[in-house]
């Protein structure tokens, strides 16, 4: 289940890429989910846990992946109980956030209204209000109401 909280919250990591660089495990990189996310978001291929082939940058290290991919991997694999700021992700990460939440309970922190329109229907609990949303339209209505308060 996806749970979304807007604004600052205790136990959240504001800049997930820095957390990732100091906490990731090699097996996260070669997990099939990560390989798919890296290919989709960064348009890059995983060669090994320490080598990624980027069509733009050439061979890069894991630490040079985008902040969005790093944040998604934290959401998928980190077991620290931290809440990760999904505002460090681009809108192209929205479908992956929903997919990860389909595999496990996932609470994310947002500081902007992320565009989930490409996802289609999805369920999310808006923690600021306790309301459940079932579509992008309901999410936007709820998110904009939170921001106006």
pTM of the model: 0.94
**pLDDT for position 149:** 46
Residue 145 is predicted with a pLDDT of 84
Residue 121 · residue 93 · CB < 8 Å: no
Convert the pLDDT of each residue in 17-58 to its tens digit. Answer: 999 999 999 999 999 999 999 999 999 999 999 999 999 999
**Weakly modelled stretches of the chain, pLDDT under 50:** 149
**Helix ranges (DSSP H) in the chain:** 16-23, 26-30, 32-37, 67-77, 94-103, 136-148
Cα–Cα distance measured from residue 41 to residue 17, given in angstroms and rounded to the nearest whole number:
15
């Amino acid at each position: 289940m996806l749970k979304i909280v807007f604004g600052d919250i205790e136990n959240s990591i504001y800049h997930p890429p820095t957390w990732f660089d100091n906490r990731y495990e090699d097996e996260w990189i070669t997990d099939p989910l990560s390989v798919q996310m890296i290919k989709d978001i960064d348009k890059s291929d995983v060669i090994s846990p320490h080598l990624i082939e980027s069509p733009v940058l050439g061979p890069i290290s894991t630490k040079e992946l985008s902040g969005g991919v790093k944040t998604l991997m934290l959401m998928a694999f980190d077991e620290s109980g931290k809440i990760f700021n999904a505002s460090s992700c681009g809108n192209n990460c929205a479908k992956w956030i929903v997919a990860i939440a389909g595999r496990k309970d996932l609470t994310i922190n947002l500081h902007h209204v992320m565009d989930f329109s490409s996802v289609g229907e999805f369920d999310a609990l808006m923690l600021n209000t306790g309301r459940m949303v079932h579509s992008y339209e309901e999410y936007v209505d709820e998110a904009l109401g939170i921001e106006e308060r």
